[in-house]
A and B are shown apart, each in its own frame.
Chain A
Amino acid sequence: MRCEEFRRLLDREGATAAEIGAEHLKACPSCQGELRRWREVEQELAAWGQEEAPPFLHERIMAHIRSEGRRVVRPAVVWWRPVWLMPVLLLVLLAGLGGLGLWRVLRPAAPAGESVTAADATARGDAPAARGDETPGGRAVVPAPPPASAPLVAQRQELPVERRSPKVAGQAKAVVVPPTRPPGEPGEMAAAAREPQGPGGVVADVVTLDRDRAPARPLGEMAEERKAAASLAAAVRREIRCQLLDDRSVPVTTLWLPEDAVPEAGRMWVVRVGEGGAVTVEDESATLLPQVASAIRTRAPQLPPPGRYRLTQAPLPEY
């Protein structure tokens, strides 16, 4: 055996190579030195295997496992695991769908393409209907916000409206008047009726709310519009256009009176205007109607000269 062969044997077998290469070792001091050195290496490596670990190693390992191991090993509570959660989620989902369906049923809906007039909008509330085709001459009076002309424009901008000719759309008219009539301006309403751009109120054209033509808007905005329409309807009062006729049946003044202070169509009540603006009204059975007299005093733009007149409904004005 040569030294090179013994070194390979030493690499392959370690210190046990001494038994196999005993004859070569007897004659080779170099390989004896190499074997001695390797035995010392093996002894040193074996001594490393007996070294003590740091005393705090165990606690450190266990603390690490307790802090992280439990979190990792224990099955996490998954939110979808509980069995009861699925029926609850299903109920919530069904309730949501039911609410949506209910909202679709209960919300005021117009058939596709059907125009809705402002008077229709008011009729959806508790106020009496103001459709012109149902009661010719009917007129909706709407309190206007304090500047007389601008608010109506703003209101029109809020509502998806489409201007139409009154003759085409019907006879109903929406009239905007100040919320509280200033004292001393009793004839303003009639002036407004004559002048669509009157100072105290504006006679509005018949407007239509056409959902199909209106651009798509958020549901919240539509809900606000419905609220506005409801408040509008609550504020609407019906008034009838009337006339005072002299003894020759010539109209001397035109005024708008509440519908409960107006004779029926074709009937006439007697109105007497005395000195100092005193007004009395009698119906066909000579019963005094003080409320009507008061309405005439406050609503007539200008009282006629003292005398006897007849109160009757007036035909609608021509535009």
Chain B
Amino acid sequence: MAPEELGASSAEAEEVARARGGDEAAFEALVRRREGDIYRLCLRMLGDRDDAMDASQETFLRVYRALPHFRGEASFRTWVLGIAINVCRTRLVGRARRQGQRRVSLQRGDGEGGEEGVVDIADTAPGPEAHASAGELRAALARALAQLQPEHREVILLHQMTGLEYQAMAAVLGVRVGTVKSRMARARAALRAALEGVWP
């Protein structure tokens, strides 16, 4: 961990302690520190800015409610990212239910760790490509990510976009590190396959 990151982590731990004691300013500082991470993760997971905003709100509301129970076993960032992942999963399931006719495939999971099948949805909402700033790669990557199963999208985003190590990803996702590695390998393969023909 870099010294500046260590310092940030220390300051964050202090803010967490104050927020747990009812210090609203400390909690607001925590939100300000992590809202960008959470919003970007939600945006890429859900592919829609409005959904990402709502998911971010819900994430921090859950954080606010659960903060008295936060034991500090993982870092605050890891803990909040885990909550955000759960919020996104819930929203994706709800979206799949609401748009059942748009469900294009019901694929069984790859069997890793006995994981159940994951619904792969064709996101008809404005996709990540609609929000890509520029460039063919960005649009192609957003389109390819939207085609991935959520659990693959999660690990790609957590590792490549958020920069979590496998250990932290295991804490966020609540699985073993080995599971994270194998899931990551399948996610990369799926992403490469999705990019073939779209992006040379």
Q: Which A residues are within 8 Å of any B CB, using their own CB?
A: 7-8, 10-12, 14, 34, 37-38, 40-42, 44-46, 48-49, 51-54, 57-58, 60-62, 64-65, 68-69, 72-73
CB distance from B127 to the nearest CB of A (A): 14
Q: Are A44 and B137 in contact (CB under 8 A)?
A: yes
SS of A interface (majority): helix
Q: Are B40 and A51 in contact (CB under 8 A)?
A: yes
Q: Are A57 and B64 in contact (CB under 8 A)?
A: no
What is the 8 Å Cβ interface bit string for chain B, positions 44-65, against chain A (1 contact, 0 not)? 1000010001001100110011
Q: Are B163 and A61 in contact (CB under 8 A)?
A: no
Output the residue of A46, A52, A61, A73 with the most chain B CB within 10 A. A61
Q: Which of A51, A54, A69 contacts B65 (CB 8 A)?
A: A69
Chain B stretch 10-67: residues in CB contact (< 8 A) with chain A: 27-28, 31-32, 35-37, 39-40, 44, 49, 53, 56-57, 60-61, 64-65
Q: Which of B64, B162, B195, B200 contacts A41 (CB 8 A)?
A: B195
Not counting A58-B31, A62-B28, a sample of 19 additional A-B residue pairs whose C-beta atoms are within 8 angstroms of each other reads A7-B192, A12-B184, A37-B192, A37-B195, A41-B137, A41-B191, A41-B195, A44-B135, A44-B137, A46-B160, A49-B37, A53-B35, A53-B36, A57-B53, A61-B60, A65-B61, A65-B64, A69-B65, A72-B65
Q: Does B89 contact A (CB under 8 A)?
A: no
In the bound complex, how far is the Cα of B187 from the Cα of A14, in angstroms?
A: 11
In the bound complex, how far is the Cα of B184 from the Cα of A12, in angstroms?
A: 7
Q: Are A41 and B163 in contact (CB under 8 A)?
A: no
The answer to whether A11 and B185 touch (CB under 8 A), given A34-B192, A45-B157, is: yes
Q: Are B35 and A46 in contact (CB under 8 A)?
A: no
Q: Which residues of B contact A12 (CB under 8 A)?
A: 181, 184-185, 188
Number of A-B residue pairs having CB atoms within 8 Å of each other in the complex? 93
10 tightest CB-CB pairs across the interface, nearest first? A45-B160, A49-B161, A53-B39, A11-B188, A64-B57, A11-B185, A53-B36, A11-B189, A12-B185, A69-B64
Q: Which residues of B contact A38 (CB under 8 A)?
A: 188, 192
In the bound complex, how far is the Cα of B53 from the Cα of A58, in angstroms?
A: 10
Q: Which residues of A contact B44 (CB under 8 A)?
A: 48
Q: Are B40 and A48 in contact (CB under 8 A)?
A: yes
Q: Are B32 and A58 in contact (CB under 8 A)?
A: yes
Closest to B138 in A: A44
Q: Are B185 and A57 in contact (CB under 8 A)?
A: no
In the bound complex, how far is the Cα of B144 from the Cα of A37, in angstroms?
A: 14
Q: Which B residues are within 8 Å of any A CB, using their own CB?
A: 27-28, 31-32, 35-37, 39-40, 44, 49, 53, 56-57, 60-61, 64-65, 133, 135, 137-138, 141, 156-157, 160-163, 181, 184-186, 188-189, 191-192, 195, 199-200
Q: Which residues of A contact B31 (CB under 8 A)?
A: 58, 61-62, 65
Q: Which of B61, B156, B161, B188 contacts A69 (CB 8 A)?
A: B61
Q: Are B161 and A46 in contact (CB under 8 A)?
A: yes
In the bound complex, how far is the Cα of B38 from the Cα of A57, in angstroms?
A: 11
Q: Are B60 and A45 in contact (CB under 8 A)?
A: no
In the bound complex, how far is the Cα of B64 from the Cα of A318, in angstroms?
A: 97
CB distance from B198 to the nearest CB of A (A): 11
Q: Which residues of B contact A8 (CB under 8 A)?
A: 185
CB distance from B185 to the nearest CB of A (A): 4
In the bound complex, how far is the Cα of B189 from the Cα of A38, in angstroms?
A: 10
CB distance from B194 to the nearest CB of A (A): 11
Q: Are A60 and B57 in contact (CB under 8 A)?
A: yes
In the bound complex, how far is the Cα of B137 from the Cα of A34, in angstroms?
A: 14
Q: Are A49 and B40 in contact (CB under 8 A)?
A: yes
Closest to B24 in A: A66
Q: Are A49 and B162 in contact (CB under 8 A)?
A: yes
Q: Are A49 and B163 in contact (CB under 8 A)?
A: yes
Q: Which of B37, B39, B161, B199 contacts A45 (CB 8 A)?
A: B161
Output the residue of A7, A48, A62 with the most chain B CB within 10 A. A48
Q: Are A14 and B161 in contact (CB under 8 A)?
A: no
Closest to A72 in B: B65
The answer to whether A48 and B161 touch (CB under 8 A), given A14-B188, A60-B57, is: yes
Q: Are B163 and A46 in contact (CB under 8 A)?
A: yes
Q: Which of A11, A45, A65 contacts B192 (CB 8 A)?
A: A11
